[in-house]
């Protein structure tokens, strides 16, 4: 079991072959693979080690406990909410278990446009197979498709749209539906119940409530990580110092560039913190006559890919996916005040949400903010991306109407749009999508330490190693060269698996022991 550095008190001085920063979708994989191969591994995780015993299925308790900035992290102008986990297991503890390999057309684009011929289908195949086996990826069965997903499939099929029931990483799922708040049944195969215990069983020393704040370079090599024990509010207490031959940075696409910029390293390209893609998503809410109880059952199982054709154009498109709604999150996104808001919430248990999620070309940035817990995230939508999102909203409304919704709400903050079947949907494109005027969320921030063959335009090479600092690797979603255009957890894990194997292959060249 991990040691909680804040609860233990005092300072930490450690020495290891490898220091892994972050225990989420990428970090846990790297830690487990490296420890299993016999290296001494220290993992630093800023969040607490919560387990299924602590997951109460209550939003007001879980959001502050498990999410960055209590689930209220947002871009500097407040235009996009950015949801990220802050706990052992990272965002995989909250994710919704869609499990997709990297689309082949995206890998092809990364090879040809980003100088990464090493990312061949054959080279990735072993990593995909290993992580899928560890995460127990399998198809969602017909009886596991819940009512909102069935309705969305019905609407999509009535319109002749392409869609399918996806793979997921759950085992013995009781279909409780609380995935976003942490699975109380250990059915979700997040890092918390897969790679983290594997890493610990192989001898990795995991420190929770341990925030890395600076990576030091000596003799041109990454060699030391400095930071503090932190409490739940992110306040610094005892100090920590880990000397290591190799540092694997896997703090996620917001914290990883923040840490590199604060350390003043690995940025000869000027690209650290740039190229932020968010997969921004926007919701339409269909109100049905019958009780649906949208929070029951596996939240996302159907996936509409009618409006993305990566083989034809790997740079654009959007997908439609159902979204689960708990009372607090739903009411926060529901427009209106007082009586109007109350009336809308009365239809809560008859409401089905459908998201348009964009494969974005828009590129934002991350830079250090006033506090270590609050980096500055900037993001603006390019006109073509805003157009695509508006078009996506139109299709969400069509699908919900075709599924039988008697009205669909588009939650513009000032003047929500309520559309009955037969209404003119062109009003959506007339209003468009402007950040700040309608709720927009991101659960997939990525690409802020992007991978590429050219050190002048990228931060890490095809194996996640910094172009500038030997022995410094990045193994999280920040390495994606572009927006992925698909759910990212398997790509993140597979690239981290590959990075770990590369470290093992090159171990003898990676500098003197710490
Ligand atoms: C609500 C939600 C739903 C999602 N649904 C899906 C889905 O259905 N399918 C899918 O494929 N993907 C989904 N994802 C995305 C998926 O979870 C991510 O792809 C994956 O977790 C990314 O891994 P990562 O290592 O980049 O970051 P994370 O998993 O976020 O891990 C980063 C870790 O680093 C820690 N950390 C940060 N800063 C520091 C520091 N300074 N020192 C020490 N530790 C630090 C954080 O606390 C965190 O634990 C979803 C994400 C969310 C939030
Ligand atoms: S739906 Fe399954 S995986 Fe999600 S919280 Fe419920 S039991 Fe866990």
Instruction: Check which CATH number belongs to the domain holding 20 and give it.
Output: 3.50.50.60
Question: Whose CA is closest to atom 4 on ligand 1?
Answer: 95
Pocket probe for ligand 1: among 73, 89, 91, 368, the residue whose CB has the most ligand atoms within 8 Å is 91
Would you say residue 321 lies in a domain?
yes
- Ligand 2 centroid distance, CA of 83 (Å): 19
Angle at 80 between CA 76 and CA 86, to 5 degrees: 85
The ligand placed nearest to the CA atom of residue 55 is: 2
Tell me, using a 6 A CB cutoff, whether residue 173 lines ligand 2. yes
Q: Do residues 396 and 450 share a domain? A: no
Q: Do residues 309 and 427 share a domain? A: yes
Q: Do residues 251 and 285 share a domain? A: no
Contacts of 242 (CB under 8 A, 6+ apart): 12, 14, 15, 16, 19, 42, 44, 224, 225
- How many Cβ atoms sit within 10 Å of the Cβ of residue 269? 17
Q: Do residues 220 and 246 share a domain? A: yes
Tell me, using a 6 A CB cutoff, whether residue 259 lines ligand 1. yes
Tell me, using a 6 A CB cutoff, whether residue 140 lines ligand 2. no
Contact between 212 and 259 under an 8 Å Cβ cutoff? The reply is yes
Closest ligand 1 atom, residue 86 Cα: 47
The ligand placed nearest to the CA atom of residue 491 is: 1
C-alpha distance from residue 14 to each of 9, 226, 367, 495 (Å): 15, 11, 29, 27
Q: Do residues 253 and 202 share a domain? A: yes
Q: Do residues 265 and 293 share a domain? A: no
Transcribe 416-474 into DSSP letters: -EEE-TTS-THHHHHH---BTTB--EES--B-TT-B-S-TTT-SB-TTSBBSSSTTEEE
Contact between 153 and 161 under an 8 Å Cβ cutoff? The reply is no
Angle at 260 between CA 258 and CA 261, to 5 degrees: 65
Contact between 469 and 440 under an 8 Å Cβ cutoff? The reply is no
Would you say residue 372 lies in a domain?
no
Q: Do residues 128 and 146 share a domain? A: no
Q: Do residues 313 and 210 share a domain? A: no
Query: For position 1, what pLDDT does the model report?
Result: 72
Q: Do residues 208 and 258 share a domain? A: yes
Residue 191, φ and ψ in degrees, nearest 5: -60, -30
Burial string for 352-387 (b: 16+ CB within 10 Å, else e) reads bbbbbbbbbebbbbbbeeeebbebebebebeeebbe
For residue 499, the enclosing domain spans: 3-63+86-134+188-273+446-509
**pLDDT 10s digit of each residue in the chain, 514 long?**
799 999 999 899 999 999 999 999 999 999 999 999 999 999 999 999 999 999 999 999 999 999 999 999 999 999 999 999 999 999 999 999 999 999 999 999 999 999 999 999 999 999 999 999 999 999 999 999 999 999 999 999 999 999 999 999 999 999 999 999 999 999 999 999 999 999 999 999 999 999 999 999 999 899 999 999 999 989 999 999 999 999 999 999 999 999 999 999 999 999 999 999 999 999 999 999 999 999 899 999 999 999 999 999 999 999 999 997 788 888 877 888 888 888 888 899 999 999 999 999 999 999 999 888 899 999 999 999 999 999 999 999 999 999 999 999 999 999 999 999 999 999 999 999 999 999 999 999 999 999 999 999 999 999 999 999 999 999 999 999 999 999 999 999 999 999 999 999 999 988 665 5
Q: Do residues 292 and 425 share a domain? A: yes
Would you say residue 76 lies in a domain?
no
Query: For position 279, what pLDDT does the model report?
Result: 98
- Ligand 2 centroid distance, CA of 67 (Å): 18
Last residue of a domain, one of 434, 468, 498: 434
Would you say residue 373 lies in a domain?
no
What's the predicted TM-score (pTM) here? 0.97
Q: Do residues 241 and 265 share a domain? A: yes
Would you say residue 72 lies in a domain?
no
Tokens describing residue 454: 């050219």
- Ligand 1 centroid distance, CA of 440 (Å): 19
Contact between 322 and 177 under an 8 Å Cβ cutoff? The reply is no
Would you say residue 480 lies in a domain?
yes
The ligand placed nearest to the CA atom of residue 184 is: 2
Residue 22, φ and ψ in degrees, nearest 5: 105, 135
Pairing of strands 365-371, 374-378: antiparallel
Report the number of distinct structural domains present in the chain: 2
Q: Do residues 240 and 126 share a domain? A: yes
Question: Whose CA is closest to atom 16 on ligand 1?
Answer: 489
Contact between 148 and 294 under an 8 Å Cβ cutoff? The reply is yes
Pairing of strands 210-218, 221-230: antiparallel
């Amino acid at each position: 079991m991990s040691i909680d550095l804040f609860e233990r008190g005092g300072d930490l001085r450690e020495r290891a072959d490898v220091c892994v920063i972050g225990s989420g979708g990428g970090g846990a994989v790297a830690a487990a693979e490296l420890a299993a191969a016999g290296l001494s591994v220290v993992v630093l995780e800023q969040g607490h080690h919560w387990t299924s015993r602590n997951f109460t299925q209550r939003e007001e308790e879980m959001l502050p406990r498990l999410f960055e900035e209590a689930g209220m992290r947002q871009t500097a102008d407040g235009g996009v909410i950015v949801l990220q986990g802050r706990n052992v297991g990272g965002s995989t503890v909250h994710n919704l278990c869609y499990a997709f390999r990297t689309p082949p057309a995206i890998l092809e684009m990364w090879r040809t446009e980003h100088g990464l011929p090493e990312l061949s289908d054959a080279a990735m195949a072993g990593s995909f197979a290993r992580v899928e086996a560890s995460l127990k990826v399998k198809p969602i069965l017909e009886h596991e498709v819940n009512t909102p997903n069935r309705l969305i499939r019905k609407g999509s099929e009535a319109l002749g749209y392409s869609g399918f029931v996806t793979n997921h990483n759950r085992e013995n799922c009781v279909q409780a539906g609380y995935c976003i708040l942490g699975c109380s049944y250990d059915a979700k195969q997040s890092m918390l119940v897969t790679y983290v215990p594997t890493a610990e069983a192989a001898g990795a020393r995991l420190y929770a409530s341990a925030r890395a704040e600076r990576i030091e370079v000596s003799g041109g090599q990454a060699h030391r990580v400095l930071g503090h024990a932190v409490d739940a509010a992110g306040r610094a207490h005892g100090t920590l110092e880990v000397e290591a031959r190799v540092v694997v940075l896997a703090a996620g696409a917001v914290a990883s560039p923040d840490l590199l910029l604060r350390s003043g390293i690995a940025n000869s390209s000027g690209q650290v913190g740039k190229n932020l893609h968010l997969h921004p998503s926007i919701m339409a809410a269909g109100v049905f006559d019958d009780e649906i109880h949208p929070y029951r059952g596996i939240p996302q199982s159907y996936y509409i890919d009618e409006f993305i054709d990566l083989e034809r154009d790997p740079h654009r498109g959007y997908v439609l996916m159902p979204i689960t709604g708990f009372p607090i999150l739903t009411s926060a996104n529901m427009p209106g005040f007082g009586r109007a808001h109350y009336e809308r919430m009365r239809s809560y248990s008859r409401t089905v949400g459908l998201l348009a999620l964009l494969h974005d070309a828009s590129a934002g940035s991350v830079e250090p903010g006033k506090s270590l817990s609050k980096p500055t995230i900037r993001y603006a939508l390019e006109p073509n991306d805003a157009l695509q999102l508006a078009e996506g909203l139109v299709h969400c409304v069509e699908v919900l109407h075709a599924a039988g919704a008697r009205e669909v709400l588009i939650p513009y903050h000032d003047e929500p749009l309520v559309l009955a079947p037969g209404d003119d949907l062109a009003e959506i494109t007339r209003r468009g999508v402007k950040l700040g005027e309608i709720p927009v969320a991101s659960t997939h921030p990525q690409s802020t330490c992007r991978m590429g063959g050219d050190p002048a335009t990228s931060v890490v090479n095809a194996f996640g190693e910094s172009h500038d600092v030997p022995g410094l690797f990045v193994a999280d979603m920040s390495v994606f060269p572009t927006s992925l255009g698909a759910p990212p957890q398997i790509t993140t894990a597979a690239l981290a698996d590959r990075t770990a194997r590369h470290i093992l292959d090159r171990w003898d060249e990676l500098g003197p022991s710490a």
